[in-house]
Amino acid sequence: MTALPLALPLLAAAAIPSTPDLGQAEGRCRPGESGPSFLVSVDGLKDRKGRLKLEVYPDNNRDFLEDDNILISEGKTFRRVVETVPQSGTPVLCVRVPGPGTYAVSLLHDRDQNRKFGWRTDGIGFAGNPRLGWGKPKAARASAQAGNGPTPITIVLNYQHGLGVAPLDRAR
């Protein structure tokens, strides 16, 4: 379990104005996608409310969770997929990446659909499923390697529990 300070850097990042459509056209998988992409299975949903927002960033601490407007204006990798939480089954989101390589990946369960992370309401998870400590994880711990085609990964969501966040199975 982690304490409130984890939420502070995430809330600060969420406070920067974002353009909701940025990265979506580039991130959207085509039917039968065969190019470099992540197939992300979502584990540990708290409920079936809201939306899932999957984002891909460069694999470095400076750019990880940086504002999408800044990343795109600097010509850096940023991809986003937003989908309504399905009413049943394991959600699987597909996001295209520019090519094979290592990318930092975050997943938000935006339960109140306000497009930003609220530590008391929403769930958050990262590729590699790092244990969340006193701040956002380092990019290297929140990254995955994409191959030449669709690469399956699983992200476990973390929700507020007491003064910290943890996967639901560890929070109980």
pLDDT of residue 142: 98
Q: Where are the domains of the chain?
A: 4-171
* pLDDT band at 46; cut points 50, 70, 90: very high
Q: Encode 72-108: b = buried (16+ Cβ within 10 Å), e = exposed.
A: eeeeebbbbbbeebeeeeebebbbbbeeeebbbbbbb
Which CATH entry fits the domain spanning 4-171: 2.60.40.1120, 3.20.20.140, 2.60.120.10, 3.30.1490.20?
A: 2.60.40.1120
67-112 pLDDT per residue, tens: 999 999 999 999 999 999 999 999 999 999 999 999 999 999 999 9
119 near 11, Cβ under 8 Å? yes
> What is the structure's pLDDT at 120?
86
For 127-163, write each residue's pLDDT tens digit: 999 998 777 899 999 999 999 999 999 999 999 887 7
> What confidence tier does 62 reach under pLDDT thresholds 50, 70, 90?
very high
Alpha helices in the chain (DSSP H): 7-15, 24-27, 68-73, 168-171
Residues with Cβ within 8 Å of 167's Cβ and at least 6 positions away in sequence, in order, are: 44, 156, 157, 158, 159
DSSP 8-state code for residue 158: B
CA distance 124 to 156: 8
What is the per-residue pLDDT for 170? 61
